[in-house]
């Protein structure tokens, strides 16, 4: 009964006072993760994610990520060597590949995905095999106790 009386007293003191919180604009990153139904730890710089090749072109691959975002992987992000790789012979449409996220830019996102989220992927073997750098970025304390060195001996 007391909460009802308190509400009546407050209403009499300030009639028709809006009890809503003020509107705040959602940031692009929050919007991206809710629209794609993914979690922030899944799509961060350094994460390895599966994607499917939708189109093979001479200089780049068009890929679709599991969350539905389409992006390109250019030939300079595929081959470690100076020599050019023939993408038309090495890859095919429908092939599933694993890439590491180089960068994510959420600034262009719109609610209908008409503005693209820019996700840069790399397939370079030196970057894909560099687990130690990625783990240190996630857990900086691991190197202090040489946990990472012991862990890497099992992976290698």
Tell me, yes or no, whether 10 lies in a domain: no
- The pLDDT score that the predictor gives to residue 54 is 94
One domain for residues 32 and 107: yes
Tell me, yes or no, whether 7 lies in a domain: no
Domain coverage including residue 100: 24-123
One domain for residues 60 and 30: yes
Tell me, yes or no, whether 63 lies in a domain: yes
One domain for residues 116 and 154: no
Residue 139 is classified by DSSP as -
Tell me, yes or no, whether 109 lies in a domain: yes
120 phi/psi in degrees, rounded to 5: -95, 125
One domain for residues 96 and 139: no
Tell me, yes or no, whether 107 lies in a domain: yes
Vertex 27, ends 22 and 31: CA angle to 5°? 105
Number of domains the chain is built from: 2
Tell me, yes or no, whether 97 lies in a domain: yes
Structural contact between residues 66 and 119, judged by C-beta atoms closer than 8 angstroms: no
Tell me, yes or no, whether 134 lies in a domain: yes
One domain for residues 33 and 99: yes
One domain for residues 29 and 62: yes
One domain for residues 101 and 156: no
Residue 113 is classified by DSSP as S
- The pLDDT score that the predictor gives to residue 154 is 47
Q: Extract the residue ranges of the chain whose pLDDT is less than 50.
A: 114, 148, 151-152, 154, 156
One domain for residues 113 and 133: no
Q: Tens of pLDDT along 24-49?
A: 777 778 887 887 888 887 888 888 88
One domain for residues 36 and 109: yes
One domain for residues 118 and 136: no
Which of left, alpha, beta for 18 (phi over 0: left; psi -120 to 50: alpha)?
beta
């Amino acid at each position: 009964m007391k909460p009802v009386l308190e509400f009546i007293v407050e209403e009499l003191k300030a009639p028709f006072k809006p009890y809503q919180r003020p509107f705040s604009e959602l940031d692009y990153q929050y919007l991206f993760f809710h629209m794609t139904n993914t979690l922030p730890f899944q799509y961060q710089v350094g994460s390895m994610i599966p994607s499917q090749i939708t189109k093979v072109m001479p200089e780049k691959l068009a890929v679709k990520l599991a969350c539905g975002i389409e992006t390109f992987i250019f030939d300079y992000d595929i081959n470690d060597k100076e020599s050019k790789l023939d993408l038309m012979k090495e890859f095919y449409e429908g092939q599933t590949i694993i890439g590491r996220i180089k960068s994510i830019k959420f600034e262009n996102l719109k609610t209908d995905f008409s503005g693209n989220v820019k996700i840069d992927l790399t397939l370079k073997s030196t970057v894909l095999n560099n687990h130690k750098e990625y783990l240190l970025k996630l857990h900086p304390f691991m190197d202090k106790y040489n946990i990472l060195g012991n862990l890497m001996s099992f992976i290698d």
